Structure 1
Amino acid sequence: MNIFITGSAGFIGGSIATGLVKKGHHVTGLVRSAEQADEMIALGITPVLGTLDDSALLTEQASRADAVINAASSDHRGAVEALIAGLKGSNKAFVHTSGSSIVGDASGGKFSDVIYVEDQLPEPTADKAARVAIDNLVLDAAKLGVRSAVICNTLIYGHSLGVKRDSVQLPRLLKQAQKSGIVRHVGPGQNIWSNVHIEDVVELYALALEKNPAGTFYFVESGEAAFSDMSNAIAQALGLGAARDWPLKDAEAEWGYEMANYGLGSNSRVRGTHARELLGWAPKRTSVIDWIVNEMIQGRV
């Protein structure tokens, strides 16, 4: 297939784009600079210079492609509208990337036993309402003749398969520990996130391009772990002392409001059955703790 992908210079999008090229697809990637364009060419990806604000360009590229993946931003409504405009009535696949912080509780590192499933999503918090509205816009595109999907990733671990980029969450804990010599988690670190390895994510996107029933929402997970366990695994990998609690205000000063409260300080516990039942997805990597202890540091040297 000829696939147009936004975010091809990022961790998720770059890994997906590289994986699809290896599967024999022709991939065109949106990039912001000539430097990023050179990175794409080296990976066998055809670059297109532009930004998510270039609506006419996005619509044109979407209309030319056999399928479209948005992996650049979960929060840019204008880009999603432009891509849908280029796909209306085509029955082509449009795979949009969201994230499971949409069910995050901003608990300050405290435990929650609440687990969400795909067909029973809660009302979003005020912080996440705009993102959920975009997810719903994508799902509703099924009524316009677009084979749309929302892939709602949980905490993604693993090393980039494409350009050398970091994932969002665990590398922040690692960098703070390397800088200070102390591994820290938000509050008591009892908060739990579902998680998934990047290689399994790439496989799911490839399956969704081929098999997705229009208007389907997917939680993407193959396990879960508490942040205290993940941060202590980082401490073990670095040869440091046990991870320590960190007051939320200090975590916000280091990582910002969004990352401290949602990315690292919330519970986001979900179960995904659609990927397994509708697409035949079978994740191969199921232990984030094993990956942190045995692979996280070595892969960054």
Structure 2
Amino acid sequence: MKVFITGINGYIGGTIANLLINKGYEVTGLVRRPELLAPLSAMGIKAIAGTIDNAALLQSAAVAADAVIHTASHIDPYSLEVLLHTLKGTGKTLIHTSGSSILGRKEYGAASSFIYTEDDPLLPRIERIAWTGINNHVLQAATTGIRTIVIIPTMVYGIGRGLHKESIQLPLLWKIAREKGQGIYVEKGESIWSNVHVADLAELYLKALENAPAGSAFYAENGEASFKEIAAAMSAKLGVSQTLSLSMDEAIGIFGPDMSHYGLASNSRASSEKARRILGWQPSINGIFDHIKNEIS
């Protein structure tokens, strides 16, 4: 099977590509930096130089593939519309990558006991309306002859198996922890995020590619942690016991408003029971604290 992956040089896209190649799939990827063509080729990927803004290039790559996995952007409607228009009526698979910060309620570091499933209605705050709208549009496109699937990763960690090795949230927190000499969190730090190792996440994409019903969405998680717990683990790595709370204003000055509110101070708790039950997904790594202790640098 020929699979076209956008964001092929990214953290998630590269890890998915590595797994698919090892499973015997033929993988093509779009990359905006020509100097990455050779490294990707060495990994067994047929890389194409260009961006998702090039509609003709995106269309031709999708036509040539049996399935498309979109990891380049979760909020760009233009590239998605090209893919949906191109694949309409073909019966081909389109897997779109979203993100679980859509579950955030702008809690300023306060904890929540609610754990979302795919059946729970989601009324996003204004800052996440576009994200959820795109997800719903992709899922509804299953009625147009496309096998559309949406995967919603939680906090992803672990060393990537492609060209890009690092995730987003933990490296950002670790960078500031090193600068401050102690682990940090925003406001109360009690908010909780579900998490998933990038290798397990790639396995979920493979399972979805092979078995997911059209129009289905899946949360990806295998454990959870509060930001206070993450901060304590980073302090321990730095050899200290204290942690530091940043006010929201301080956090925004460092990380910007979106990451501060939705990436570091809201709750994002989800269950992956559906993926385990329907797809037979069996994540094997529950080790975010081991990752912090042994792999972050």
User: Is the shorter-chain TM-score for this pair beyond 0.5, marking a shared fold?
Assistant: yes
- 1:296 is displaced (CA, Å) by 2.4
Which whole-Å CA distance do the structure 1 matches of 2:35 and 2:178 have between them?
A: 29
- 1:130 is displaced (CA, Å) by 0.7
Task: Give the 5 Å matches for 1:67-216.
Answer: 67-216=67-216
- 1:234 is displaced (CA, Å) by 1.3
Contact 1:84 1:141 in 2 (8 A): yes
Contact 2:142 2:215 in 1 (8 A): yes
Contact 1:218 1:275 in 2 (8 A): yes
Contact 2:182 2:234 in 1 (8 A): no
Unpaired stretches in structure 1, ≥5 consecutive residues: none
The aligned counterpart of 1:4 is 4
For 1:162, what is the secondary structure of its paired residue?
Answer: coil
- 1:164 is displaced (CA, Å) by 3.1
- Provide Cα deviations, 1:91-143, integer angstroms capped at 9, x if missing partner: 11111000000111221111111221101132111101011111011101110
- 1:66 is displaced (CA, Å) by 0.8
Structure 1 segments (4+ residues) deviating >6 Å: none
Which whole-Å CA distance do the structure 2 matches of 1:263 and 1:93 have between them?
A: 30
The aligned counterpart of 1:280 is 280
Contact 1:61 1:86 in 2 (8 A): no
The aligned counterpart of 1:267 is 267
Which whole-Å CA distance do the structure 2 matches of 1:116 and 1:149 have between them?
A: 18
Contact 2:182 2:238 in 1 (8 A): no
Contact 1:100 1:268 in 2 (8 A): yes
- Provide Cα deviations, 1:15-44, integer angstroms capped at 9, x if missing partner: 111111111111111100112222311211
- 1:235 is displaced (CA, Å) by 1.4
- Provide Cα deviations, 1:34-59, integer angstroms capped at 9, x if missing partner: 12222311211111111121112212
- 1:242 is displaced (CA, Å) by 2.2
Which whole-Å CA distance do the structure 1 matches of 2:197 and 2:240 have between them?
A: 25
Tell me, yes or no, if structure 1 residue 224 matches structure 2 residue 224: yes
- 1:238 is displaced (CA, Å) by 2.4
- Provide Cα deviations, 1:182-213, integer angstroms capped at 9, x if missing partner: 32111121000011000100100011111110
Tell me, yes or no, if structure 1 residue 46 matches structure 2 residue 46: yes
Which whole-Å CA distance do the structure 1 matches of 2:272 and 2:183 have between them?
A: 31
Contact 1:59 1:84 in 2 (8 A): no
For 1:95, what is the secondary structure of its paired residue?
Answer: strand
- Provide Cα deviations, 1:199-244, integer angstroms capped at 9, x if missing partner: 1001000111111100001011111111100111111122233221
Task: Give the 5 Å matches for 1:13-52.
Answer: 13-52=13-52
Which whole-Å CA distance do the structure 2 matches of 1:178 and 1:133 have between them?
A: 38
- 1:179 is displaced (CA, Å) by 2.2
The aligned counterpart of 1:296 is 295
For 1:151, what is the secondary structure of its paired residue?
Answer: strand
- 1:274 is displaced (CA, Å) by 2.0
Which whole-Å CA distance do the structure 2 matches of 1:21 and 1:238 have between them?
A: 38
Aligned residues: 297
RMSD, aligned CA: 1.2
For 1:161, what is the secondary structure of its paired residue?
Answer: coil
| TM-score (normalised: structure 1) | 0.95
Contact 1:52 1:76 in 2 (8 A): no
Relative distance call for 1:144 and 1:291 in structure 2 (3 A) is: same
For 2:209, what is the secondary structure of its paired residue?
Answer: helix
Letter in 1 for 2:295: M
- 1:260 is displaced (CA, Å) by 0.7
Which whole-Å CA distance do the structure 1 matches of 2:274 and 2:85 have between them?
A: 26
Contact 1:207 1:281 in 2 (8 A): yes
For 1:213, what is the secondary structure of its paired residue?
Answer: coil
The aligned counterpart of 1:243 is 243
Contact 1:58 1:86 in 2 (8 A): no
